[in-house]
Chain A
């Protein structure tokens, strides 16, 4: 289908039909005082050559640091075939075309993505993706409030060790819709949220319990006990998970006796490079009983009039362009390109490859923990097992240490002081399969030098 902009002739003809003298006249309802007459702070355009120079200079500023920061976005090896396929013209579009008659490849890609995510999370249905992990949590909260008709409280219970950005985005999205949030403390020695912390909610109405597995500290939760407590109190369970960890861990669909109700998370670890915070993609899967409350779109497999298999969008009637104020979401679309990268990543690695990435990331993190805690002044904060991140306590403020490491070409981790001041000077570090024994030794050597010389 050709995408040819309107010619001046087209524009004149259309204006003549509706009787408007100019395009500008279409906006005359807006009082002139409210209209921006000029944009003095927006610079004039640059030539392609100037843009290339500027961006190359910016890229040099980034350097190629050895990155041990996780905290929600993780560096994994991405097979070259992923992005050479994603950037093919058929996929590389600013907008995803959904017309079934013209877009069978795109629709099949979404369908394959959904099928893989359903299998990974142990759920029954998955949407075509969301913006990112944080907005997926916010959407899951709103979905749980709609889906749990037994609960009248719109009260969401979540752990303090859920990603602080996810909590901030969910509060911004849902609190003005009457949703209240209550925080569960974590156990200071283990970093997890024991089921006993839910005791104050026994016998009370709460709509949903959010469970992060692993939690923001990288620590594993007792998901079975938490899930069963929530269900025994008529609450739904929202699982927030790392998709790579699911290659090794029990899928949320099998948590406790009945399994989680909604599973969400950040899709970035699946084939999306670290990129200044995005674009990434969020995922969401659920049980069929809740599908009518799930935001977003679903690609389905069906038969055409001649009985041939084909793909089409289903469940669209709940979307904002049709249902407006009553839509399941008014901020959601899918992240077609990033979801495509995730699908290709999963299909190239396969179940066994994903399991090896997860296992290697865990063992690299353990190796990193051993190397760093051998340095005087560095100790492990939580004694409980986890995935590929750990919290380390330092004997002095973290920020200057991270700055000194950065000068040595190492991004040493995420400073927890802003979000978890109760931990004192503490650092969240991560090593995925991309970190070699030599990389880990280089980090340990640099940290040792920094701590000795400051």
Chain B
């Protein structure tokens, strides 16, 4: 996957989470292709409860692969409105489709312009290719 394959509407954190602004003000969150590749085959995803309030940088999800278990950090403060239940039985969706079917959590952000400070796909792409 190259930078041009990253959907252009996504915003990224330095810790390899992405955020997709959705039409109704909801923010969808996942981990980048670079992150899933570094983790290897995912075997388990520990998702938060719906209704949980999350602060910026708070660990909201644990993704566990055959070789590591890592926290996913919340890119913007908000309340969990949905989680990707399919990951409970098919965590490999994150490996197969990190920017689509492999989404993790949907949040209602506390502030409407949340996420504007995050990186664009091309900025992130340059960073993750360097790093």
User: What residues of chain A have their CB less than 8 Å away from a CB belonging to chain B?
Assistant: 149, 292, 317-318, 322-323, 326
Distance A317 CA – B43 CA, assembled complex (angstroms): 10
- When distances are taken between beta carbons in the complex, the residues of chain A under 8 Å from B69 are 317-318, 322-323, 326
**B contact residues, total (Cβ < 8 Å):** 12
> Contact mask B76-93 → A, CB, 8 Å, 1/0?
000000000000000000
- When distances are taken between beta carbons in the complex, the residues of chain A under 8 Å from B64 are 292, 317-318
Pairs across A and B, CB under 8 Å, 21 listed: A149-B49, A292-B44, A292-B46, A292-B64, A317-B43, A317-B64, A317-B65, A317-B66, A317-B67, A317-B68, A317-B69, A318-B64, A318-B69, A322-B67, A322-B68, A322-B69, A323-B68, A323-B69, A326-B62, A326-B69, A326-B71
A-B contacts at CB below 8 angstroms, number: 21
Distance A231 CA – B62 CA, assembled complex (angstroms): 27
B130 to A: closest C-beta gap in Å: 26
Give B21-73 interface residues, CB cut-off 8 Å to A: 43-44, 46, 49, 62, 64-69, 71
What secondary structure prevails in chain B residues at the interface with A? strand
User: What residues of chain B have their CB less than 8 Å away from a CB belonging to chain A?
Assistant: 43-44, 46, 49, 62, 64-69, 71
Given A317-B66, A317-B67, A326-B69, output 6 extra A-B contacts at Cβ < 8 Å: A292-B44, A292-B46, A317-B43, A317-B64, A317-B65, A326-B62
Distance A323 CA – B69 CA, assembled complex (angstroms): 6
Distance A318 CA – B65 CA, assembled complex (angstroms): 10
Distance A286 CA – B24 CA, assembled complex (angstroms): 42
A303 to B: closest C-beta gap in Å: 16
Give the interface centre of A317, A322, A323, A326 by most chain B CB atoms within 10 Å: A317
The chain A residue sitting closest to B39, CB to CB, is A317
A53 to B: closest C-beta gap in Å: 51
The chain B residue sitting closest to A293, CB to CB, is B46
The chain B residue sitting closest to A323, CB to CB, is B69
The chain B residue sitting closest to A149, CB to CB, is B49
- When distances are taken between beta carbons in the complex, the residues of chain A under 8 Å from B71 are 326
The chain A residue sitting closest to B44, CB to CB, is A292
- When distances are taken between beta carbons in the complex, the residues of chain A under 8 Å from B67 are 317, 322
B68 to A: closest C-beta gap in Å: 6
- When distances are taken between beta carbons in the complex, the residues of chain A under 8 Å from B65 are 317
The chain A residue sitting closest to B66, CB to CB, is A317
A142 to B: closest C-beta gap in Å: 16
- When distances are taken between beta carbons in the complex, the residues of chain B under 8 Å from A323 are 68-69
- When distances are taken between beta carbons in the complex, the residues of chain A under 8 Å from B62 are 326
B38 to A: closest C-beta gap in Å: 14
The chain B residue sitting closest to A150, CB to CB, is B49
A203 to B: closest C-beta gap in Å: 22
B71 to A: closest C-beta gap in Å: 7
A122 to B: closest C-beta gap in Å: 25
The chain A residue sitting closest to B52, CB to CB, is A149
Distance A42 CA – B103 CA, assembled complex (angstroms): 60
- When distances are taken between beta carbons in the complex, the residues of chain A under 8 Å from B66 are 317
- When distances are taken between beta carbons in the complex, the residues of chain B under 8 Å from A149 are 49
Distance A149 CA – B83 CA, assembled complex (angstroms): 16
- When distances are taken between beta carbons in the complex, the residues of chain B under 8 Å from A318 are 64, 69
- When distances are taken between beta carbons in the complex, the residues of chain A under 8 Å from B43 are 317
Distance A323 CA – B64 CA, assembled complex (angstroms): 10
B89 to A: closest C-beta gap in Å: 13
The chain B residue sitting closest to A324, CB to CB, is B69
- When distances are taken between beta carbons in the complex, the residues of chain A under 8 Å from B46 are 292
- When distances are taken between beta carbons in the complex, the residues of chain A under 8 Å from B49 are 149
Distance A318 CA – B44 CA, assembled complex (angstroms): 11
B64 to A: closest C-beta gap in Å: 5
- When distances are taken between beta carbons in the complex, the residues of chain A under 8 Å from B68 are 317, 322-323
The chain A residue sitting closest to B49, CB to CB, is A149
- When distances are taken between beta carbons in the complex, the residues of chain B under 8 Å from A317 are 43, 64-69
Distance A379 CA – B85 CA, assembled complex (angstroms): 61
Distance A317 CA – B68 CA, assembled complex (angstroms): 5
B51 to A: closest C-beta gap in Å: 12
B77 to A: closest C-beta gap in Å: 20
- When distances are taken between beta carbons in the complex, the residues of chain B under 8 Å from A292 are 44, 46, 64
Distance A326 CA – B67 CA, assembled complex (angstroms): 15
B63 to A: closest C-beta gap in Å: 10
Distance A322 CA – B40 CA, assembled complex (angstroms): 14
Distance A318 CA – B64 CA, assembled complex (angstroms): 8
Distance A322 CA – B49 CA, assembled complex (angstroms): 25
A292 to B: closest C-beta gap in Å: 6
Distance A421 CA – B71 CA, assembled complex (angstroms): 48
Top 6 A-B residue pairs of the complex, sorted by shortest distance between their CB atoms: A317-B69, A323-B69, A317-B64, A317-B68, A322-B68, A318-B69
